């Protein structure tokens, strides 16, 4: 490190790094950004080391969060647990001033519009276009992570087909799940559970050439994803908890001038600003299924 350097530390794994650097004598500026939600005080203080983590955060000159609600949770926790007084957007602790601010992560819409104009001709996208020709396409894109709510989404789609039989053969779900931390037991369990639900849905409802769920378990390039966004009439972004979720923003940008409907979980940061989406509670299977049906049947002007 040089005396005029500014450090930028990312995400909860490295919260203690700032404190370690201060102990080593670093006096320069350090910023920290939290990509995940900061929980309520009642949840956060379950941690036996909650106060230690708060002390670690206060050594930073600036702490950035995704949404106003996340920032509120952090400031409320600092006030309740450390009995600190808030001065504007900052706290003074042990002679150091720490600012708490909101910086929602975004995407580059111009780049996506440019890719949307090109449109991807990859084998995967072309194959799906042939397979789903004449159908409404509902798309999900996630890392296979237990915070993303993929099993809940599949159960919702199953409920939709069960209670609205007129949609059978007319709508297909394309679920892209990018492999993530495959050796961690919780992630392996998520994959097994997802495979079981996909198999059950396709076993129950497939007929002729129609397969209700196309589950793609691999990574795709950004251009290929833009091709999927182009083909999707509806995009499901329904995590059970997420800091922001850029798929929601990429889908809207990637559609170009074409209409599309975003079904968005109230529990991700994007819902704070993307208020024209259909906002849902992913734990409410019936309510989310109704929103998907509304998205599929929505008049063109409203789309």
Q: What is the pLDDT of residues 238-261, one digit of tens each?
A: 999 999 999 999 999 888 777 899
Banded model confidence at residue 129, pLDDT cuts 50, 70, 90 = confident
| pLDDT the model gives residue 33 | 98
Q: pTM score, two decimals? A: 0.90
Q: Which residue has the higher pLDDT, 188 or 55?
A: 55
| pLDDT the model gives residue 273 | 93
From the list 257, 261, 70, 228, the residue with the least C-alpha distance to 142 is 228
Banded model confidence at residue 122, pLDDT cuts 50, 70, 90 = low
| pLDDT the model gives residue 116 | 62
pLDDT at residue 118 is higher than 80: no
Banded model confidence at residue 108, pLDDT cuts 50, 70, 90 = confident
Region 285-302 average pLDDT: 96
| pLDDT the model gives residue 209 | 87
| pLDDT the model gives residue 127 | 74
Beta bridge partners of 236: 263
Beta bridge partners of 62: 31, 99
Region 72-90 average pLDDT: 96
Banded model confidence at residue 298, pLDDT cuts 50, 70, 90 = very high
| pLDDT the model gives residue 133 | 82
CA distance linking residue 102 with residue 64, whole number of Å:
6
Cβ pair 142, 194 in contact under 8 A: no
Which of the residues are catalytic? 35, 242
């Amino acid at each position: 490190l040089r005396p005029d350097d500014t450090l930028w530390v990312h995400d909860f794994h490295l919260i203690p790094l700032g404190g370690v650097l201060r102990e080593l004598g670093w006096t320069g500026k350090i910023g920290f950004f939290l990509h995940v939600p900061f929980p309520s005080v009642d949840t956060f203080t379950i941690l036996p080391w909650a106060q230690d983590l708060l002390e670690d955060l206060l050594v930073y000159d600036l702490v950035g969060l995704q949404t106003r609600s996340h920032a509120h949770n952090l400031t409320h926790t600092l006030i309740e647990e450390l009995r600190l007084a808030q001065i504007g957007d900052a706290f003074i602790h042990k002679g150091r001033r720490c600012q708490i601010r909101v910086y929602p992560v975004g995407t580059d819409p111009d780049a996506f519009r440019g890719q949307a104009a090109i449109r991807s001709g990859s084998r995967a996208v072309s194959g799906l276009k042939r397979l789903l020709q004449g159908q409404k396409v509902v798309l999900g894109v996630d890392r296979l992570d237990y915070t993303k709510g993929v099993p809940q989404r599949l159960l919702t789609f199953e409920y939709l087909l069960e209670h609205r039989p007129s949609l059978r053969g007319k709508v297909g779900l394309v679920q892209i799940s990018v492999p993530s931390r495959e050796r961690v037991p919780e992630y392996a369990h998520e994959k097994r559970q997802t495979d079981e639900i996909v198999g059950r849905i396709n076993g129950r409802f497939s007929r002729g050439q129609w397969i209700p769920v196309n589950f793609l378990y691999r990574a795709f390039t950004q251009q290929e994803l833009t091709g999927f966004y182009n083909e999707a009439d509806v995009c499901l972004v329904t995590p059970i908890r997420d800091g922001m979720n850029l798929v929601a923003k990429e889908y809207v940008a990637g559609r170009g001038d074409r209409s599309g409907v975003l079904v968005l979980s109230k529990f991700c940061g994007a819902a704070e600003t993307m208020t024209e989406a259909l906002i849902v509670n992913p734990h409410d299977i019936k309510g989310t299924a109704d929103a998907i049906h509304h998205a599929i049947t929505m008049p063109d002007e409203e789309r």
